[in-house]
Amino acid sequence: MTATTTLTARALLLDMDSTIVNSEAVVERCWRRWAAEQGLDADEVLTVVHGRQGWATMAALLPDRPMERNLADNRRMLAQETSDMDGVVPIPGAPAFMAALAGLPHALVTSADIALSDARMGAAGLPMPAVRITAESVSASKPDPEGFLKGAAELGFAPEDCLVFEDSEAGIEAGRAAGMRVIGVGDRAAALAPTAHVRDLTQVRVEARADGVLALHLTD
């Protein structure tokens, strides 16, 4: 028997990678290459990368490394990722989910920069939300809550009125730190105790009520 959980909000804040866009193949290719350059175990590196800006991942992995080198590598890797769209596709259910949000309060809150988010949303065939918080918008990477707080403020809603969709530990921590409830998307999120969890976006139905409340119906 199918069970349904319903959460309500006035605005939705959406992570991009592995939440609405599947870019795992590109991320793995780029970070395995970087790990080999640094003499690091690639599998261990891949446990850290998700959700953060690249320079923040590098700082976590190599705490004694000068930040200038991290920033330089970050710029180089962003260029590589932006030129590599092989295997970038929407998460199952994402096209219908994004179509349902048209005209409703929602924002993209991503650790990618403008160019990379343009490229990946385009490759996945997904519409870009009118409000977008990118790497250029913030001074701190997830798990810092700055991005989600800025997204809520730009939409004009209090943090407690927002629901976050996230896949990664850093992203879920950022949503919680912002005082928001979090719907975890995908296998990685299942173990991170989000407010609710879905396998993918085929399990989410959006209902816009007359009073401006958004009801998110989640099925298992």
**Catalytic residues, which ones?**
15, 17
β-pair partners for 216: 7, 206
**Could you give the CA distance from residue 193 to residue 217 in angstroms, rounded to a whole number?**
18
Asked if 140 contacts 173 with a C-beta cutoff of 8 angstroms, the reply is no
Q: Among 201, 177, 147, which Cα is nearest to 21's? A: 201
Q: Residue 79: how many CB atoms within 10 A of its CB?
A: 12
In this structure, what DSSP letter does residue 137 have? Answer: G
Q: Based on the number of CB atoms within 10 Å of its own CB, is 100 exposed (0-12), middle (13-18) or buried (19 or more)?
A: middle
> Do 138 and 186 form a contact (C-beta atoms < 8 A)?
no
Residue 112: Cβ within 10 Å count: 26
Tell me the residue length of the chain: 220
**Could you give the strand order of the β-sheet that contains 204-208, starting from the edge strand earlier in sequence?**
4-9, 214-219, 204-208
